[in-house]
Structure 1
Amino acid sequence: MTKPACPLKKSWLILALTAAVGLSACKILPTPSAQGADSGNSSAFNPDKMVEEIWASKVIPYLQQKAGPFAEVHALAKTDPAAAGAKYGNPKKQANSPWTFAVRVEGKIVAANTQSRAATIDVDVDGDGKADARVQIGPAMRGTALRDSLDFVQFNDFTNQIDFAQFGKAFNAHAGKTVLSKLPRDGLEGRTAKVLGACTIEGGQDLPLVTPAEAEIGPKP
């Protein structure tokens, strides 16, 4: 006499067949990697293009209107940073950030360092023969002074800190490509310099480091 099939075994067999059919009908799609997601975001966010679009129409006119003579800005920043910030700085800056001032630097070049990619010129603005400001002439430039001087650029307008930082670097890159790359590199000492840019002025700085948005260097004397 044949034993009837065990109900429990029959149930397991049905479940196994159902699972097999289900798997054969499904297509397993790969999960996008974090790298792929970042790549998508990067293609949408183009800081170089953003800077290029506002440079002539907003950035330069703003700095031209806001900037003060370097000697005046420096003196006021040393005695009353808040007053200097209200007049020459970005009043919408983040509370914990230092003031960044729009400045005009005009004077004689008393020293030049063009051996490094982070090239600079030291400028005497008051005629005493000593450097008062150090101006970056690139191609490599430090800081985000140009971005930070603008009251129409706010951190909260960006998705994250990385995008905000890249936007700051894009200002330096644009200035380097369109302005600073055209400057002479030889025989700079003794020539005149005329710069529109931005800098921070903090206690303990040897020379305030100015990032130019416009720059001219006069002929050899």
Structure 2
Amino acid sequence: MSLKQWGTGLLCCSALLLTACRVVDLDENGKPVIPPDPNAKASFANQTPAQIAQQTWATRVMEQARDHALDASALHNMAASAKGESFFVKARGTVEKVELGNERERVVTFTLNDRPVQLQVGPMIRGNAIRDAAGFKFEDFTNQVQFAQLSKAYNREAVKHLPAVDESWQQQPVTVLMAVTLRNGALSDAAALDLQRETP
């Protein structure tokens, strides 16, 4: 092969290589940004609990809650056998009492299956009902701390989407979408996801 032919071949190979190469974006530090593998298992290792809550609120919480929430009858049937399990529940009832005395922990009490339910409406919501009803598992996270903090992040996210509740809601019919924990036949840590006052 002559030098001219060798050079032509080299140019052809170089052109093919450049055509096959894909330009990779660089981050602020000049390092390549590797696109995520669409087949890889979801990982939250590099996200804060607040980021996870914000990014997954619509799909992991609200969409699941609206599509798969238990009604009052199904909740009643689950109560006897559930041992610390959390569920999404949709129910209708009448607000018996609105407790606004504690500025951090406001509670709406309504009757469900002939029992009073104390529904947390914020600004502070306690418990893990939202996180656990959404199906998150400890093994999805880097450590126990991140897993625990996700509950708090979800509880704070829930409050952002709730209407302001005051004494005028008392004795009014409502539709409630909530996350609850069932333990030993009793309902606890009920956290409001959506609360709508209906026309009497």
Give TM-score, length-normalised by structure 2.
0.68
Q: 2:96 aligns with which of 82, 107, 110?
A: 110
* Matched position secondary structure for 2:59: helix
Residues 1:191 and 2:172 aligned together = yes
> For 1:120, which of 99, 102, 107 is the aligned residue?
107
1:85-111 per-residue CA deviation (whole Å, 9 max, x = no partner) reads xxxxxxxxxxxx711121112110011
User: Structure 2 CA distance, aligned partners of 1:134 and 1:61?
Assistant: 24
Map residues 58-207 of structure 1 onto 2, 5 A cutoff: 58-69=60-71, 71-81=72-82, 98-116=84-102, 117-125=104-112, 131-151=115-135, 153-177=136-160, 179-180=161-162, 182-203=163-184, 205=186
SS at match of 2:171: coil
Report if the CA contact (8 A) 1:184-1:217 is conserved: no
Partner of 1:48: 50
Distance of 1:146 and 1:209 partners within structure 2: 9
What letter matches 2:76 in structure 1? A
**8 Å Cα contact 1:122-1:131 kept in structure 2:** no
Question: How far has the Cα of 1:53 moved from its partner?
Answer: 1.0
Residue 129 of structure 2 contacts residue 189 of structure 2 at CA under 8 Å; is this kept in 1? no
Closer, same or farther: CA 50–167 of 1 in aligned 2, 3 Å: same
- Report SS of the residue matched to 1:80: coil
Question: Which whole-Å CA distance do the structure 2 matches of 1:58 and 1:78 have between them?
Answer: 23
* Aligned position for 2:35: none
Q: State the Cα distance separating 1:200 from its structure 2 match.
A: 1.2
The two structures have a TM-score, normalised by structure 1, of 0.62
Q: Between the two proteins, what is the percent identity of the paired residues?
A: 26
Q: Which has the higher contact order (CA 8 A, sep 6+)?
A: 2
Q: 1:132 deviation in Å?
A: 3.0
RMSD: 2.1
Q: Distance in 2 between matches of 1:122 and 1:186?
A: 12
> In structure 2, what residue type is equivalent to 1:102?
F
Structure 1 residue 203: Cα displacement: 2.9
Task: Supply the distance in 2 between the matched residues of 1:139 and 1:105 (Cα, whole angstroms).
Answer: 22
Partner deviation per Cα, 1:103-152 (whole Å, 9 max, x = no partner): 112110011211112111111245xxx6532211110111010000122x
Which amino acid is the alignment partner of residue 141 of structure 1?
A: I
As a proportion of its length, which structure holds more helix?
1
Structure 2 unaligned segments of length 5 or more: list them: 1-45
Query: Are the counterparts in 2 of residues 108 and 191 from structure 1 also a CA contact under 8 Å?
Result: yes
- Distance in 2 between the 1:144 and 1:209 partners? 8
Match for 2:79: what amino acid?
Answer: K
Name the SS for the 2:106 alignment partner.
strand
| Structure whose CA Rg is larger | 1
